[in-house]
Amino acid sequence: MNVVSQAVFVFVLVSTRECFAVPAPDPLDYLPALGYLRSVLHLSTGFLEELQLDPSVPQTYDVSEMIKKVHSTLTDTEQAVEITWQQLEMPGSLHMQHLADGLRSIQRSLGETNFRFPEYYRRENVSQEMDLLKLAMSEQLDRVSFTRTEFALSDLRELNGFLTGATSQAMTATMAVFLIASVEKLTGYLNLIVLPSHVETTELKDLLDIGVRVRAYDQLYAGALRNGSEPFQRAAMEGRQLVYTMLNMSLDLPENVKQAATEFTGQVDSFVDTSIVEMLLTKNAADEKFGEVLQNIVYTSYGLLSTGLAMMRPLPQHVLCVRDVLPRAQTIAGTNLMSIALCSNDASAILYDSVMEFREQIRLLQHRTFQQLHKAVGCSGNCASVYNATVDLFNASTAEVRGFSTDFEPHRIRLLGCLSDRYEIVMAEVLDISYNFNQCVKLSKLELFD
């Protein structure tokens, strides 16, 4: 090597020393759910601040107090998330006790708080699912070891699942506020002597507003997918740049070493790009299904609501039937809209396992190959055996990456299946309500003529 190349080589050795020391994985790269939770909390608190109640409508449940409690809980969780984020960003060994405190604060806020939602909401499936999820979150956090100086991959997997669960809790609590406010308003309208002329428009707007917020959450998930892919892409790009820099340092490296190293980085790039494209194709298919299900739930439910409201004009008919059925129909519509927003979270564990497995394997392959290339670049004298070992290692690593195959099919099946199942559930419930409503109307007609 000439003097200039030698100086550059020394600089790279110093600046990349950590690469050759098998550094622990950066926790933030393996916890995409933390940024996702951060975004969801910010959006949710904004949603609650936008919610305005109609003071002219009598209510049987204190919606204002509910809004304050949920908003306070989300704000507390935001603070705990920021503490956790800051601890993970700090250089050096992790401050495990501070991290544990921050994560347990998230658990207390979203996993242990009882919002005391009304009984009609707590009877719904989505409320019961969140109760089960709280137990799962507690178990996930208990399985994480905070006694080491760094997290194992198994710890990061548990933490990502815990944070995804916290995200579902935040989304559900926020949407529950909007739903309950809507149901209480509808119940108040139905108890008035004269039904206001704008009720149909108001109820449709409420359903559409819930749908808009549900879609906003889904867009945040899409953003989380993109953000979660960036460390994968960045590692491939930085690895490629490091290889090219090291190759350019030595004029003595044989062509087969350069070719083997270049083929390896190209194969890593190809695998990363293909995986991301396949993941986004699955998300695009889910987006199409999501939009279809959301629209069908809104308009099918509104059809039932408008039918019932039409019986209240010009003279109220079958009042007891209407007062009983319509709030129930609104509750079912709202909770099922909420539940489809959770499908991406529900399927995320499968996606995490399939992607992170290969991310870690590539990280280790990069470490081994870069270390060997470091030896080859720094070799002087008789280097044939070093060069041959370098070529063999790069070729074997390239073949290993070529054999990688990320199977997104289980994730796709889980995600699309969840959306289909939720749609079938709401349709069955709407049919059941419609039948009961018709039966109630028939009975009230008979009683009228008795």
pLDDT in tens, 131-165: 899 999 999 999 998 888 888 889 999 999 999 99
What mean pLDDT is reported for the chain? Answer: 88
DSSP class per residue in 85-148: HHHHHSSSS--HHHHHHHHHHHIIIIIS------HHHHTSHHHHHHHHHHHHHHHHHHTS--SS
* Statement to judge: residues 255 and 337 lie in one domain: yes
Task: Report the percentage of the chain scoring pLDDT > 70.
Answer: 93
Asked whether 213 and 48 are in contact (CB, 8 A), the reply is no
DSSP class per residue in 245-302: HHHTT-S---HHHHHHHHHHHHHHHHHHHHHHHHHHHHHHHHHHHHHHHHHHHHHHHH
The predicted pLDDT at position 125 comes to 84
* Statement to judge: residues 350 and 379 lie in one domain: yes
Q: What six digits make up the tokens of 122?
A: 């707590």
Q: Residue 182 — very low, low, confident or very high, per pLDDT cuts 50/70/90?
A: very high
Number of domains the chain is built from: 2
Using the 3D structure, point to which of 192, 219, 252 is the last residue of a domain: 192
The predicted pLDDT at position 445 comes to 67
* Statement to judge: residues 148 and 260 lie in one domain: no
End-to-end CA distance of the chain: 107
Q: Provide the residue range defining the domain that includes 154.
A: 31-192
Name which of 145, 130, 295 is nearest 211 in CA terms: 295
**What is the rounded distance in angstroms from the CA atom of residue 137 to the CA atom of residue 98?**
19
**What is the rounded distance in angstroms from the CA atom of residue 87 to the CA atom of residue 99?**
6
**What is the rounded distance in angstroms from the CA atom of residue 5 to the CA atom of residue 355?**
38
The tens digit of pLDDT for each residue in 46-91 reads: 999 999 898 888 888 899 999 999 999 999 999 999 999 998 888 7
**What is the rounded distance in angstroms from the CA atom of residue 32 to the CA atom of residue 419?**
23
The predicted pLDDT at position 94 comes to 75
* Statement to judge: residues 293 and 217 lie in one domain: yes
Mean pLDDT of 166-190: 94
The tens digit of pLDDT for each residue in 244-283 reads: 999 988 778 999 999 999 999 999 999 999 999 999 899 9
The predicted pLDDT at position 449 comes to 42
Using the 3D structure, point to which of 192, 219, 244 is the last residue of a domain: 192
Mean pLDDT of 2-8: 37
The tens digit of pLDDT for each residue in 302-341 reads: 898 999 888 888 878 888 999 999 999 999 999 999 999 9
**What is the rounded distance in angstroms from the CA atom of residue 81 to the CA atom of residue 41?**
9
Using the 3D structure, point to which of 144, 168, 192 is the last residue of a domain: 192
Greater pLDDT, 408 or 13: 408
* Four-residue CA torsion sign, 358, 364, 367, 373: negative
Q: Residue 3 — very low, low, confident or very high, per pLDDT cuts 50/70/90?
A: very low
The predicted pLDDT at position 186 comes to 93
Count of CB atoms within 10 A of residue 80's CB? 22
* Statement to judge: residues 332 and 365 lie in one domain: yes
Asked whether 124 and 336 are in contact (CB, 8 A), the reply is no
The predicted pLDDT at position 193 comes to 79
